[in-house]
Amino acid sequence: MTTYDTGTSDGNSGESVLFDPSVANDPHAAYARLRSECPVSRGRGWNGHPHVIVSRYEDVIWALKHPDVFSSAPEAVDIGQEQKLIPLQVDPPDHAKYRRLLDPEFAPKRMVELEPSVRVLVNELIDGFVDRGACDFHEEFATPLPSGVFLALMGLPMSDLPMFLRWRDDTVRPDVLPDDFEAAAAVRERVGHEVTQYFDEMVAEVRKNPQETLLTRIAHAQVEDRPLTREETLGICHLLMLGGLDTVTATLDCALAYLAAHPDRRQAIMDDPSLASVAVEELLRQQSPVMMVVRVVKEDCELAGVPVMADDHATILIGAANSDGAEFSDAEGVDFARETNRHLAFGAGPHRCLGSNLARAELRVALEEWHRRIPEYRIADGAELTYSLGIRQTAQLPLVWS
């Protein structure tokens, strides 16, 4: 059993190791250090509040599967939302009624129906730069692909995309000084109000003029034989916007940057296009675009021998769990022949990612079509990639090919 430890062996807190801005560029060393020296670290966060960091696979999966202890209630994270993000910020048992409503919208059957349109969009994007021999993959492919799929699914105008991307970036990575938490909170509060106002208007419109869109179905949905409230409807829309616009973009950035730098892995996909699905799973695990999720502790407990107290805030390290050698052989390597891959890139337990089937479909089709049309590519000479912390997305990803 691990003994209680508030930090690493040299006296640094787990937080100081994890939240160094450079960690996102290559996080595995930080993950390994935390797992080895303080797998459950309890100290003080930036605001002085008790803060727990959980990094080993067995502890991470336990936390994710026990929302009664590690809750994702609204106090876990404030991103300026004016209502709960549903179903993320609702724990069981109420969580189940929203999943019963939304899970069918993202079921495998629906994703099969959606795949042809995703493939068309992928090829339209590639058409825009393939003959040029170069592109900024982040700006010209990784961003517009999931954004375009989301807007089409919801039935929202493509002309609103720049506004959505601004809201996404201002929420996830506001352009303020790294330690200016008040300024970041102010930006997120403004965005939260703008998002609420936008979806208020759009929901009202599709209630008057229904369409064959996900937004219309949400606007007319019922739970427990009653219509959704305004707050419930807006909370669902806000969460779908964030999930639909950010995480797949980050995953595409991570995947193509890795493959561009590892020609042998890229060649394997070119030689056998059927590997695209397993490549998606392995790159989700090894790259872990969503490095962490946040929780608030609801009950006193002990985790890996460390006392965890009610009201502690917690960071659950998905990336560290996904590179834990106790669960995965050659955990920091990439193996497309891996037989068992119980990665946690989409979480686990009741709050497992609602849109995981959609994300997998987008990612698989993207890898298939990209390598069919642009099999040989590399990162442009002199380019230095910088990833954002928390959700590993590059600011730019310049790729070149013959």
Query: Is pLDDT at 1 greater than 80 in this prediction?
Result: no
- Cα separation, 149 vs 122, in Å, equals 10
Mean pLDDT score of the chain = 93
pLDDT reported for residue 95: 97
What pLDDT does 2 receive? 36
pLDDT score recorded for residue 208: 97
Half-sphere exposure of residue 103: CA atoms within 13 angstroms, side-chain side: 10
User: Which of 70, 5, 85, 39 has the alpha carbon at shortest distance from 312?
Assistant: 70
**pLDDT > 70 fraction of the chain, expressed in percent and rounded:** 96
150 φψ region: left (φ > 0), alpha (ψ -120 to 50), beta (else):
alpha
CA 292, CA 41: separation in Å to the nearest integer? 15
| CATH class in words for 14-88+99-400 | mainly alpha
Q: Identify the band that residue 12 occupies on the pLDDT scale cut at 50, 70 and 90.
A: low
d(CA 141, CA 253): 9
pLDDT given at position 11: 53
* pLDDT tens digits for range 325-362: 999 999 999 999 999 999 999 999 999 999 999 999 99
Q: Which residues contact 175 (CB under 8 A, 6 or more apart)?
A: 169, 187
3 pLDDT higher than 80: no
Mean pLDDT value of segment 148-162: 95
- Please write the tens of the pLDDT for every residue from 90-136: 999 999 999 999 999 999 999 999 999 999 999 999 999 999 999 99
10 pLDDT tier (thresholds 50, 70, 90):
low
Q: At what angle do helices 356-373 and 247-261 cross, to 10 degrees?
A: 40
d(CA 54, CA 266): 33
Q: How confident is the model at residue 273 (pLDDT cuts 50, 70, 90)?
A: very high
Q: Name the band, by pLDDT with cuts 50, 70 and 90, for residue 46.
A: low
